[in-house]
Amino acid sequence: MSSFLFSTIFLILATTFGASRAQLSSTFYDTTCPNLTSTVSGVLVSARDSDVRLGAKIIRVHFHDCFVNGCDASLLLDDAADIDSEKNAVPNESTDGYAVIDDVKTAVENVCPGVVSCADILALASEILVVLDGGQSWEVQLGRRDSRTANSAGTSAIPSPVEDLPTITQKFADQGLDTTDLVALSGAHTIGRARCVSFNQRLNASNPDPTLDPTYLQTLQENCESSDQNLNNLDVTTPDAFDNNYYVNLQNNRGLLQTDQELFSTSGADTVAIVNQFAGSQSAFFDAFGASMIKMGNISPLTGSNGEIRTNCRMVN
């Protein structure tokens, strides 16, 4: 094979591989939509004033979106003639915050029409809301495009609050995320609420979960007695502040969901040391959370000419 032919083939392969591994960038919209962050922030600051749970809602939507076919805003699509919406699948029945994403998209379209994807809005909104709740900023990577399809059946990849630690760990591994990512991203439960139906199996009066602090168990039983739809703080100490108290709660057997407490209470699990690290150092948690959010946000993004930039996040163009 001539050196010229070899070089040509190598260039073609490199170009093809590079296209399939397109990198996201924190500066992606610097020239095409320079006011993006301030525009998104303007909507979110006002919306959060009306709903202190907004940060938890949007992070959850971003997380659930990324675990199904990657971070492509497929979860935002409503039912249509050829769309079986992921919103209707069991793991997403309690997701919320979509109206705020609509408002952000409208504001962004007003200043940069046809430029910014809904998938990127989810990633950026998650970071902005974490900061508004007291957390630490990170460099959000941008450049995703939106899918033209949804995958309702694929929502089985989303971790369930009643699954055991090995199952959850495997679901994270399937997405290229390790146990540090699992523990760090679970820290998003330092804000938000969960309904009793998400953890009722732990409250059985005759056989309660032994990893639940007895006083906390009684509090939860009393709150859930009237309805399994009652809301409970995921972080019993500082429910609306993005901090590391979630991990301290786990050390005290006060994790709300089974999947929370198992990070600390599973004997021999390598997650225990990570929980202890984050409980002892908020800065370590903040650094790891930002790194894991970037890593999660890079799960199979559509880039280049793949997908589209939706005008309306709820439907394909």
Same domain? 43 vs 140:
yes
Pairing of strands 193-195, 231-233: antiparallel
Q: How many domains does the chain have?
A: 2
Q: Give the whole-angstrom CA distance, residue 19 versus residue 17.
A: 5
Q: What are the helix (H) ranges across the chain? A: 3-20, 36-50, 54-66, 98-111, 118-132, 165-174, 179-186, 214-224, 245-251, 258-265, 271-280, 282-297
Same domain? 111 vs 183:
no
CA dihedral of residues 61, 277, 247, 129 (deg, nearest 10): -40
**For residue 277, what are its two tokens?**
């690290």
109 within some domain: yes
**For residue 278, what are its two tokens?**
């984050």
276 within some domain: yes
The separation between CA 150 and the C-alpha centre of its own chain, rounded to angstroms, equals 17
Same domain? 123 vs 248:
no
- Domain ranges, residue 43: 24-158
Q: Is 16 left (phi over 0), alpha (psi -120 to 50) or beta?
A: alpha
Same domain? 55 vs 92:
yes
Contact 200, 228 (CB under 8 A): yes
Same domain? 219 vs 119:
no
Q: Give the whole-angstrom CA distance, residue 233 versus residue 20.
A: 42
194 within some domain: yes
317 within some domain: no
Looking at 99, 125, 158, the residue that finishes a domain is 158
2 within some domain: no
Same domain? 107 vs 197:
no
Same domain? 41 vs 116:
yes
316 within some domain: no
Looking at 123, 158, 193, the residue that finishes a domain is 158
CATH of the domain at 214: 1.10.420.10
57 within some domain: yes
What is the chain's Cα-based Rg? 21
**Is 64 a residue of the active site?**
yes
CATH of the domain at 133: 1.10.520.10
Predicted confidence pLDDT, tens digits, the chain (317 residues) = 444 443 444 444 434 333 334 589 999 999 999 999 999 999 999 999 999 999 999 999 999 999 999 999 999 999 999 999 999 999 999 999 999 999 999 999 999 999 999 999 999 999 999 999 999 999 999 999 999 999 999 999 999 999 999 999 999 999 999 999 999 999 999 999 999 999 999 999 899 999 999 999 999 999 999 999 999 999 999 999 999 999 999 999 999 999 999 999 999 999 999 999 999 999 999 999 999 999 999 999 999 999 999 999 999 99
Nearest CA to 286 out of 211, 190, 208 is that of 190
- The pTM assigned to this predicted structure is 0.92
Looking at 131, 158, 185, the residue that finishes a domain is 158
Q: Give the whole-angstrom CA distance, residue 94 versus residue 97.
A: 10
Contact 179, 274 (CB under 8 A): yes
10 within some domain: no
Q: How many helices (H) and strands (E) does the chain have?
A: 12, 2
What pLDDT is recorded for position 300? Answer: 97
What pLDDT is recorded for position 168? Answer: 97
Same domain? 139 vs 194:
no
What pLDDT is recorded for position 22? Answer: 54
DSSP assignment, residue 315?
A: B
What pLDDT is recorded for position 101? Answer: 98
Which of these is catalytic: 62, 64, 171, 295? 64
Same domain? 143 vs 197:
no
Q: Give the whole-angstrom CA distance, residue 140 versus residue 255.
A: 29
Same domain? 148 vs 215:
no
Q: Give the whole-angstrom CA distance, residue 309 versus residue 243.
A: 34
Same domain? 92 vs 212:
no
What pLDDT is recorded for position 288? Answer: 98
Q: Give the whole-angstrom CA distance, residue 195 versus residue 187.
A: 18
Same domain? 104 vs 49:
yes
